[in-house]
Amino acid sequence: MKKVVNGLQLFGKSMFAPILILPIIGLYIAFGNVFGNGNLAQYIPFLDHPVIQNIGKFISSSAVSILQNLALIFAVGIPIGLAKKDKGYAALTGLVTFVIFINAMNQVLKLSDRLVPAEEMQMAGQGMVLNVQVLEMGVFSGILIGALVGVLHNKYSSTEFKGVMSIYSGHRFVAILAIPTAMLLGAFAAEFWPIVQNGITNLANGIKSMGAFGFLIYGFLERILIPTGLHHLVYTPFLYTELGGTQSIAGEIVHGARNIYFAEMADSSVKVLSDTVNWDARGLSKMFGLMGAALAMYMAADKKKRAVAKAILVPAAFTSFLLGVTEPIEFAFLFTAPILFAIHAVLAGVGIMLLHIFDVHAIGANGVIDFLLYNLPLGTEKSNWPMFILVGLIMFAAYFVIFRFLIVKLDLKTPGREEDTAAEGQPVQAKREAAAGNASAMGETIIAALGGTENIENVDNCYTRLRLVLKDPGKVDEGLLKETGSKGVIKSGNNVQVVYGLNVKTVRESVDQNLGGI
């Protein structure tokens, strides 16, 4: 079980690379939509000019093209996340292997005379990928190839041959293994993917049949798995595969809540967004709920310690509100009051369920900045975004009342209620500032707290966490890590996550400098 959990954590982390780039693409689609759809022209007259509208359509249409090639993005991005070294070569192998895979599938379909004319592709479950006609696997094909290349790269990229065979060593040997494997997988996919597709369709229909309760369960799981890092495995299939819905938009079949939203946003003929976008409404708890939780923790703090609580809670809450990055505020109460985190997960699910019940079709996964860019240009009819705000205010009140009641009733040690906080805070802060002033010194301190260089097998990071594989997690000195700015440590087998917040990239670089390329 430990190996399974470790493997899932590593796989979940690997999807962070492609997932991280997609919201950027979304911003460009939204930005182009601001100028191109004309809904804001009644408030800003110059947006009604044909030149401005054409520029907007040019930007959004160019960015939307990424949605048609998501499988390639994952095939290249996942090896980057999985590879322990030579990430660039891993990505290149992923690209080559993916091209081989889709062409192998095309050849099997062609040789068995199963390729259908263009006008029949949708009905036959076929589509064009990189101008190659194949079975419509969507993003699953990219995930499959990316995982394959990542595993082969880590296992065989250090293989060395001698003499004239040395040219086939290292990453070239990985390609030698990956290419024929991709050919076989392409052939198998041509034969067996329809069976898998039926299973996915049945699962999607089963989830859909749960109605509002399905959204509650989804929202709960997406939050409760945050500490393990497995939440990526919950929301990614709903955002980018058939599990999140299927729609025909402008003559194209589109899979996944996020993809459907962007396609419908860019299509002026769509008057009301599909309810599938609610799978991407995770921002409700981020923008409103956690703000209520932060206020509750501040109000429940001891009056003499409210300044300390404010210093912790205000930046963390606004990071969640503005950017949708929740770990800083969630880890403020996760370890000291886990019951609050369980309540938070339930409320997050309730919020998404309410959006479904009230027929709200607004997206809001990454904070208020994304929310405004994505939804305001659409107008109220298409997304019903004002109701999103109303439901958000309800969630703000629910979080505040429930959190404050439980904190006081159970005497939970949330920020400002810890024992001896005042006595310990000053020296810890002084050490943290000293370490921050010298990146090299901070890196040395972190490495020492992790058990030394010899205890570290791999270092990576995501939005807010330093992700490591350690030989002996028992050697971690959590107290020393806290002095470098850590907000919490999560251990699962040999996988250790150290939460730092948005400055984690700087932390990672300071560690890398002292590790010498591990």
In contact, 219 and 364? CB cutoff 8 Å = no
Which residue, among 145, 115, 125, 364, has the nearest Cα to 242 in the 3D structure? 125
pLDDT at 421: 39
Q: Looking at residue 434, what is its pLDDT?
A: 45
| Across 474-497, average pLDDT | 85
What does the pLDDT look like over 14-24, one tens digit per residue?
Answer: 777 787 777 77
In contact, 462 and 16? CB cutoff 8 Å: yes
Q: Pairing relation of β-strands 488-492 and 465-470?
A: unpaired
- pLDDT tens readout for residues 51-96: 888 888 888 788 878 877 889 999 999 999 888 889 999 999 999 9
More confident residue, 113 or 119: 113
If phi > 0 it is left, if psi is from -120 to 50 it is alpha, else beta; for residue 455 that is alpha
Please answer whether residues 157 and 89 qualify as being in contact, where contact means their C-beta atoms are separated by less than 8 angstroms.
Answer: yes
Domain ranges of the chain: 10-198, 281-410, 438-515
368-396 pLDDT, tens digit per residue, is 877 887 887 777 888 888 999 999 999 99
Give the chain's mean pLDDT.
Answer: 84
DSSP single-letter state for residue 499: E
Confidence of residue 6 (pLDDT cuts 50, 70, 90): low
Of the listed ranges 36-45, 184-193, 220-229, the one predicted with least confidence: 36-45
DSSP string over 20-39: HHHHHHHHHHHHHHHHHS-G
Q: Quickly state the pLDDT bin for 319 (edges 50, 70, 90).
A: confident
Residues 341-354, mean pLDDT to the nearest whole number: 94
Q: What spatial distance separates the first Cα and last Cα of the chain, rounded to whole Å?
A: 27
Structure-model confidence comparison of residues 109 and 138, the more confident one: 109
Three-state SS at 209: helix
pLDDT tens digits for range 130-153: 999 999 888 889 999 999 999 999
Residues 231, 216: Cα–Cα separation, whole Å:
15
456-461 β-sheet, strand order = 456-461, 465-470, 495-499, 488-492
For tokens 């930007």, name the residue.
Answer: 59
User: In which band, very low, low, confident or very high, does the pLDDT at 198 lie, cut at 50, 70 and 90?
Assistant: confident
Residue 476: DSSP 8-state: -
Using CA atoms, how far apart are residues 202 and 221, in angstroms rounded to an integer? 20
Six-digit token string for 177: 């293994």
Give backbone dihedrals phi and psi of 248, rounded to 5 degrees, phi first.
Answer: -100, 115
> Which token pair is 224?
């409760």
pLDDT class for 433, splitting at 50, 70, 90? very low
Phi, psi for 457 (deg, rounded to 5): -95, -35
Tell me the residue ranges of DSSP E strands in 39-158.
Answer: 126-129, 132-135
Q: Note the pLDDT of residue 369.
A: 79
Fold for 438-515, please state it.
Gyrase A; domain 2 (3.30.1360)
**For residue 463, which of 496, 510, 505 has the smallest C-alpha distance?**
505
Does the structure show a pLDDT above 50 at 38? Answer: yes
The two tokens of residue 18 are 């492609």
Q: Which residues are catalytic?
A: 462
pLDDT for 20 equals 72
Q: What's the pLDDT score for residue 431? A: 47
Whole-number pLDDT of residue 429: 46
The mean per-residue pLDDT over the stretch 430-449 comes to 67
Q: How many C-alpha atoms does 14 have within 13 Å on its Cβ side?
A: 32
Q: Which residues contact 397 (CB under 8 A, 6 or more apart)?
A: 292
Of the listed ranges 151-160, 332-341, 384-393, 486-495, the one predicted with least confidence: 486-495
